[in-house]
A and B are shown apart, each in its own frame.
Chain A
Amino acid sequence: EVQLLESGGGLVQPGGSLRLSCAASGFTFSTCAMTWVRQAPGKGLEWVSVISGSGGSTFYADSVKGRFTISRDISKNTLYLQMNSLRAEDTAVYYCAKYLDCVWGNYRHYFDDWGQGTLVTVSS
């Protein structure tokens, strides 16, 4: 059974940093493309970042480019999102999710298993 467990959320001041983790199990994480998607309170879904199975390709939403970094540690079966220079508008529940069948490729960027999310609140 696929399990994705996010952690690391919390309250942080504007301009601060936070690192989110997503512990993965039940599938071959080492070759699986992954993503982060966020949802502001009461709002819709917003894609944040993706990383290929090899880790060699990453993409970011314009709203977080230059501030957030996605990475993975295969030895720990864990996906990360390093968030710097946080702003109030980054307040959201952050979900990690895996690509359907773990496949990375053109026109394959949709997500079948999701974690339950971790809440990040940016406020003074």
Chain B
Amino acid sequence: EVVMTQSPATLSVSPGERATLSCRASQSVSSNLAWYQQKPGQAPRLLIYGASTRATGIPPTFSGSGSGTEFTLTISSLQSEDFAVYYCQQYNNWPLTFGGGTKVEIK
């Protein structure tokens, strides 16, 4: 099983600042990585797939990068609606696996 490790567990950021979230895979997953956003009481929302392709309707303030074992989700300028938990998911190998999540909170 590919273990996905996200860091940090919690990120405190001021509105308007940049947030950088990391996701590391225990073995190469090529570019087969997705990012999701989840707000309290809501279902997850697909942000990024293919490590860097934004899903429909996702603003360009969200960007993904990386390949192999190291991936990054960057939110260029945090808006109030961006404070949430973010998960990475690899789909290179079965079973599909998610990271433990990074909570982005208001500083």
Q: Which residues of A contact B (CB under 8 A)?
A: 37, 44-47, 50, 59-62, 95, 97, 100, 107-112, 114-117
Contacts and interface: CB of A to CB of B under 8 A. Distances in A.
Contacts of B71: none
Contacts of B56: 112
Interface of B: 1, 30, 32, 34, 36, 38, 42-46, 49, 55-56, 87, 89, 91-92, 94-101
A28 B100 CA distance: 32
A116 B101 CA distance: 19
Contacts of B89: 45, 47, 110
Contact of B87 (A44, A50, A114): A44
Contacts of A111: 44, 46
Contacts of B43: 95, 97, 114-117
